């Protein structure tokens, strides 16, 4: 895979060094594929993503993809190991000091953000996604855009897209590990005329639009779409749209309706979405002004350790 920029050399980290990095570790997340830890390297917090033994091929796949990426709104890969390029079982990534937008929405109390913050977050992720879609060759589909994979920096003035474990390219024949159901575009599940609809970059647009709705509504979409069993949830994710938000500006409602349209052809591209959001921000916010940061609790790291 190639793009229009050149990454610095990737650091190969052996087992002895990663043990030092994780001396005072604690677990940030545990999934069916990996364990994610907070560690310290050269005096700075880093994230270490360890893949379970049977899922090591996923580590190699994610490494080969993310190592080629360089964008201000994509999480930075620092190193990997234990023996590159053939043996990869863990990734070392930059640490987001404001944590994920999932944490901001539901875990930290007393966090207040406004419409400009929301528009700025979606704009930045649309730019990261546009880079993946248009400037990488072949195009990369993230396939799991949601608040927990959007990471915050600088009092949430800067956000970055992370976790490329579900990602694939438009030329890949390998099956992808697709993400979370309520953010998933209907073409990933529906069948028409005996054929499954192809997924594309527009699938990411759908996921980002649901995320946009969630930032505005401040409640999880799976709460709204909840059904009695898995089959009902599958069907609701395909046929049911989230409700229109009371008081939402008409233009934003139009963007959301087009962004989660069942027909992918109706959805805008990430480039078009970003251009529209830029225009809106410029209309409601002075061009030379600095976007106000969001206050995150000073003890949020200690809070996460207790979760």
Residue 181 structure tokens = 């159901």
144 a catalytic residue: yes
Among residues 24, 107, 144, 229, which one is catalytic?
A: 144
d(CA 45, CA 209): 31
Neighbouring C-beta atoms of residue 234, cutoff 10 Å? 15
Q: Catalytic residue numbers?
A: 144
């Amino acid at each position: 895979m190639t793009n229009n920029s050149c990454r610095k050399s990737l650091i190969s980290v052996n087992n002895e060094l990663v043990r030092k990095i994780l001396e005072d570790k604690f677990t940030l997340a545990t999934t069916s594929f990996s364990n994610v830890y907070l560690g310290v390297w050269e005096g700075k917090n880093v994230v270490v993503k360890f893949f379970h033994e049977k899922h090591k091929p996923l580590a190699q796949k994610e490494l080969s993809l993310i190592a080629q990426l360089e964008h201000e709104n994509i999480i930075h890969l620092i190193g990997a190991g234990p023996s590159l390029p053939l043996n990869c079982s863990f990734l070392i990534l930059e640490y987001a000091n404001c944590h994920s937008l999932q944490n901001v929405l539901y875990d930290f109390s007393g966090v207040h953000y406004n419409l400009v913050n929301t528009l700025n977050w979606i704009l930045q992720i649309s730019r990261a996604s546009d880079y993946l879609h248009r400037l990488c060759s072949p195009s990369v589909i993230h396939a799991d855009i949601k608040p927990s994979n959007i990471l915050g920096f600088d009092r949430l003035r800067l956000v970055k897209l992370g976790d490329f474990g579900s990602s694939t390219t438009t030329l890949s024949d390998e099956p992808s590990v697709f993400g979370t159901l309520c953010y998933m575009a209907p073409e990933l599940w529906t069948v028409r005329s005996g054929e499954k609809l192809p997924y594309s970059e527009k699938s990411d647009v759908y996921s980002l639009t649901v995320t946009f709705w969630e930032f505005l509504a401040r409640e999880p979409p799976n709460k709204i779409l909840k059904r009695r069993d898995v089959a009902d949830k599958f069907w609701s994710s395909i046929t049911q749209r989230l409700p229109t938000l009371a008081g939402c500006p008409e233009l934003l409602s139009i963007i959301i309706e087009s962004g989660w349209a069942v027909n992918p052809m109706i959805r805008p591209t990430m480039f078009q979405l970003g251009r529209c959001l830029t225009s809106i921000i410029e209309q409601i916010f002075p061009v030379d002004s600095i976007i106000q940061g969001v206050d995150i609790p000073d003890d949020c790291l200690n809070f996460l350790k207790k979760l």
